[in-house]
């Protein structure tokens, strides 16, 4: 489409030739003639000047330095995401129920829904309007789902789960599997019945092969607008606060409480019963063993303040050298003999 049309659809100010034809969006380093790209700040100015893009979405302070036509934006990354949606609208299967789908006679399916081949919808299930359920999805009895639900293939939703509006579950996610609960009795491991449920609030996205366990009692709660990446484990009775994001292979043991707008890097995790304050950030591969206050920024295992963790990491490669220097100093001061006597005394 013409750049002027794109500017109109985005509601952005155009500076430059609006008659340019835009054929696709592209990252700044790979942009060619006919594409539109974006830059979020001055550190990308050089890349933008050398780019062959025909248009760019930029903040006001970069609008004068670009070699191409620009759309001026307060949030270029957000508006570029909108461009991607315009050029690549999400796939929507036909609004129909495939003849091989099995739907319980008392299940309630809303208007304009699509239910794919070999999906199974159990007794007492309710599904809101405009749902898209791809092939081979299993929904156990008693599940309640809101409007605009999207569920990709191979997802399993266990009994009694409650899901809000505009929720997306990616391939292979399992919602409401039994929590990991056993008690040792007479040298046997006896399973504790997991009789709780899972509540997923509005605007949540859960990644491929991610699992959210049902509560032992009560509910595991995934708050509004939470975004979980692929291959994440959320243990039983956890509560994940509004807007929290967790990257791939991270995990929460049972009964963890995360505040609002937290961020967890890949392969990070929390021990059981940990409480984390709002806006806390946990870097990749960190392990949280103790409660964290609001706005904490931590790394390492066990996790500590990130500034301290970085100093410790910086010292680690020098430890062999520091040990040699320490031994040399001890010999000069005669402390090595004192230490040997102390060790003999301990024996």
Report the catalytic residues.
236
Strand boundaries in 265-305, DSSP class E? 269-270, 275-276, 281-282, 287-288, 297-299, 304-305
10 Å Cβ neighbour count for 78? 12
The span from the CA of 140 to the CA of 178, in Å, is 13
The span from the CA of 248 to the CA of 320, in Å, is 34
Core vs surface per residue 10-48: b (16+ CB within 10 A) or e: bebebebeeebebeebbebeebeeebbbbbbeeebeeeb
The span from the CA of 226 to the CA of 208, in Å, is 15
Q: Output the six-digit token pair for 246.
A: 């967790």
Distances (CA, A) of 230 to 50, 90, 138, 276, 339: 35, 19, 19, 22, 53
- The continuous run of DSSP H or E covering 240 comes out as strand 239-240
Residues 6 or more apart whose Cβ sits within 8 Å of residue 14: 3, 4, 7, 69, 70, 71
10 Å Cβ neighbour count for 312? 12
């Amino acid at each position: 489409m013409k750049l002027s049309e794109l500017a109109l659809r985005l509601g952005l100010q155009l500076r430059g030739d609006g008659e340019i034809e835009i054929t696709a969006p592209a990252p700044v380093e790979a942009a060619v003639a006919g594409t539109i790209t974006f830059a979020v700040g001055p550190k990308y100015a050089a890349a933008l000047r050398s780019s062959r893009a025909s248009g760019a979405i930029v903040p006001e302070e970069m609008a004068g330095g670009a070699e191409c036509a620009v759309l001026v934006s307060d949030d270029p990354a957000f508006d570029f995401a909108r461009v991607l949606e315009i050029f690549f609208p999400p796939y929507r299967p036909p609004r129909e129920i495939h003849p091989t789908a099995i739907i319980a006679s008392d299940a309630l399916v809303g208007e304009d829904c699509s239910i794919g081949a070999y999906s199974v919808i159990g007794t007492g299930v309710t599904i809101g309007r405009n749902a898209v359920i791809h092939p081979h999805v299993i929904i156990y009895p008693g599940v309640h789902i809101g409007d605009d639900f999207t569920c990709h293939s191979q997802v399993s939703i266990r009994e009694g789960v409650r899901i809000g509006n505009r929720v997306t579950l990616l391939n292979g996610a399992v919602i409401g599997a039994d929590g990991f609960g056993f008690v040792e009795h007479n040298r046997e491991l006896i399973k504790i019945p997991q009789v709780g449920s899972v509540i997923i609030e509005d605007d949540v996205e859960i990644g491929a092969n991610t699992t959210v366990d049902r509560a032992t009692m009560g509910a595991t709660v995934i708050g509004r607008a939470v975004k979980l990446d692929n291959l994440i484990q959320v243990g039983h009775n956890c509560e994940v606060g509004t807007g929290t994001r967790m990257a791939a292979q991270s995990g929460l043991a049972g009964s963890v409480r995360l505040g609002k707008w937290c961020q967890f890097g890949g392969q990070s995790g929390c021990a059981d019963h940990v409480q984390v304050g709002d806006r806390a950030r946990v870097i990749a591969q960190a392990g949280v063993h103790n409660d964290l206050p609001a706005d904490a920024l931590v790394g390492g295992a066990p996790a500590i303040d990130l500034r301290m963790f970085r100093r410790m990491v910086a010292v680690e490669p020098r430890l062999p050298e520091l040990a040699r220097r320490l031994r040399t100093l001890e010999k000069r001061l005669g402390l090595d003999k004192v230490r040997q006597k102390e060790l003999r005394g301990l024996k």
